[in-house]
Structure 1
Amino acid sequence: MTPFPTAPDISVIVPVRNEAGNIEPLIREIERALAGRSFEIVYVDDGSSDGTPAELARLAAAMPFLRTLRHATSCGQSCAVRTGVRAARGALIVTIDGDGQNDPAYMPALVDALVAGGEAMGMIAGQRLGRKDTGFKRWQSRTANRVRGWVLRDGTRDTGCGLKAIRRDVYLALPYFDALHRFMPALVKREGFDVGHVDVVDRPRLSGTSNYGFLDRLWVGILDLIGVWWLIRRRRRVPVVIGGTADAR
């Protein structure tokens, strides 16, 4: 008998690389946060070299709501999220970082705000309060967010927060590139949808160390910002279909 007889309402996408010690605690928190709701958790292992694959296999054997995918080599966070969304069966997607800094307790608020917004609401973005990173990393994030906000006018204070709720069809309509997760509010608005926000309290990672550095993101981030600015400028208007005879497929 298949453990997934019907499609869930919510698919939680968790991209990870070398996070073996964080997997089970985070899954348990997600399970508690979404108790009483129809959900699945899709972990995407982005080419881990530690015990992550074995830990995911162990847990998937005992948890019918857990699905796992694995990249042969690391392709980056945005690629891992995209792999998970494409495999997801829920119409509503929730993304969360795999290091435990995002608190799953905020997931119901994100989902409820997305549903309450109706068809016009494309995404609800978490915005972190009380950042627990180093002073340098907080400065780095504030600077990047200010520059991005000034250039893109996306109305979002913190696009780096991994906690987001988005409609699956909206996500799949976005143009893909390797840093997509950092520019989603601007690109969702580009597709003609509204973006809402929920404040979430940040916390220290559960275990391990960060996979990200400063210099390896700086220049790529500048080029990505220019590219997203260009994409927005090149979309003259979003079409509104008011009639026709073609059947939706």
Structure 2
Amino acid sequence: MSYRLTVVVPVYNEQDNLLRVEKVFKDYFEIAAVPTQVLFVNDGSKDRSQELIEEICARSEGFQFISFAQNCGLSAAIKAGFDYTTTPLVGYIDSDLQTTPEDFNILIKYAEEYDLVTGHRADRKDSFVKNMSSTIANNIRRAFTHDGMDDTGCPLKIIKTDYAKRIPMFRGLHRFLPAMIMLQNGKTIQVPIRHFPRIAGTAKFGLWNRLLGPLMDCFAYLWMKKKYINYDVAKRSDG
């Protein structure tokens, strides 16, 4: 099959969610707006995640994986997924499935005109503390980046792969994907999507790394923005 979209699914100790990820995506493949495949990125899980991932990839078409030798963090997992993607479009979703693959069909409608399409969890199904800390963090990021995004941490995105591969990812920069596309003079848009409570597994980010982490990352972003290089090739030789 000639796939058009690769969905990167970072995994860190998500053994209780992976079979559900398989089922939900197999259902989604039947209704996907464009031919779609999944790329698991196992971020050094200590549970049975890798075993389950290999079983899924062996028995189900449309699933692939890469596995880190050790835990490197969410930014590294997303960056590796971008690097190993060969389709024109690359998506991202968390393995906790608090967002649904079905909503990629909403985002894909904008993927021709825009270089990044990100979801906006307008009706989040999280605790008050988690919602409030995320709101504060988003306000901090927006003040630094001026990206106009209300929910940069939403784990449902589609990016043109050429742009995704040029993102100079470092730890924490997964929170700045829209801003990093804008540094490339790319066009971004946010689109309302559905959000669901976590059914299994545990959240990997707490109150402090939702607030202090983003604040520190903002200064890294400002440094990156100052040093970032853009160029346009006007002409090249054949061959």
TM norm structure 2: 0.92
> In structure 2, the residue corresponding to 1:72 is in which secondary structure?
coil
Report the Cα distance in structure 2 between the residues aligned to 1:142 and 1:162, rounded to whole angstroms: 15
Deviation for aligned residue 1:246 = 3.1
The answer to whether the aligner puts 1:106 opposite 2:103 as a matched pair is yes
> In structure 2, the residue corresponding to 1:204 is in which secondary structure?
coil
Judged with a 3 Å threshold, the aligned counterparts in structure 2 of structure 1 residues 52 and 168 are, in CA distance, closer, same or farther, namely same
Report the Cα distance in structure 1 between the residues aligned to 2:35 and 2:93, rounded to whole angstroms: 17
Match of 2:29 among 18, 26, 34: 34
The answer to whether the aligner puts 1:123 opposite 2:116 as a matched pair is yes
Judged with a 3 Å threshold, the aligned counterparts in structure 2 of structure 1 residues 146 and 62 are, in CA distance, closer, same or farther, namely same
Report the Cα distance in structure 2 between the residues aligned to 1:192 and 1:143, rounded to whole angstroms: 27
Deviation for aligned residue 1:127 = 0.7
Report the Cα distance in structure 2 between the residues aligned to 1:45 and 1:90, rounded to whole angstroms: 20
Match of 2:43 among 42, 46, 49: 46
The answer to whether the aligner puts 1:162 opposite 2:148 as a matched pair is no
Give the structure 1 partner of residue 164 of structure 2.
171
Report the Cα distance in structure 1 between the residues aligned to 2:226 and 2:236, rounded to whole angstroms: 32
Give the structure 2 partner of residue 244 of structure 1.
235
CA displacement, residues 164-197 of structure 1 (integer Å, 9 cap, x when unaligned): 0001110111121111211011110110010011
The answer to whether the aligner puts 1:25 opposite 2:20 as a matched pair is yes
Report the Cα distance in structure 1 between the residues aligned to 2:144 and 2:75, rounded to whole angstroms: 21
CA displacement, residues 36-62 of structure 1 (integer Å, 9 cap, x when unaligned): 532211001111111111111211111
Q: Mark the runs of 5 or more structure 2 residues left unpaired by the alignment.
A: none
Q: Mark the runs of 5 or more structure 1 residues left unpaired by the alignment.
A: 1-5
Match of 2:131 among 117, 120, 138: 138
How many corresponding residue pairs?
A: 237
TM norm structure 1: 0.88
Match of 1:82 among 79, 82, 87: 79
Contact between 1:91 and 1:168, CA under 8 Å: does it hold in 2? yes
Judged with a 3 Å threshold, the aligned counterparts in structure 2 of structure 1 residues 57 and 154 are, in CA distance, closer, same or farther, namely same
Counterpart residue identity of residue 16, structure 1:
V
Give the structure 2 partner of residue 213 of structure 1.
206
Give the structure 1 partner of residue 215 of structure 2.
222
Q: Which 4+ stretches in 1 moved above 6 angstroms?
A: none
Percent identity over paired residues:
28
Match of 2:55 among 54, 58, 63: 58
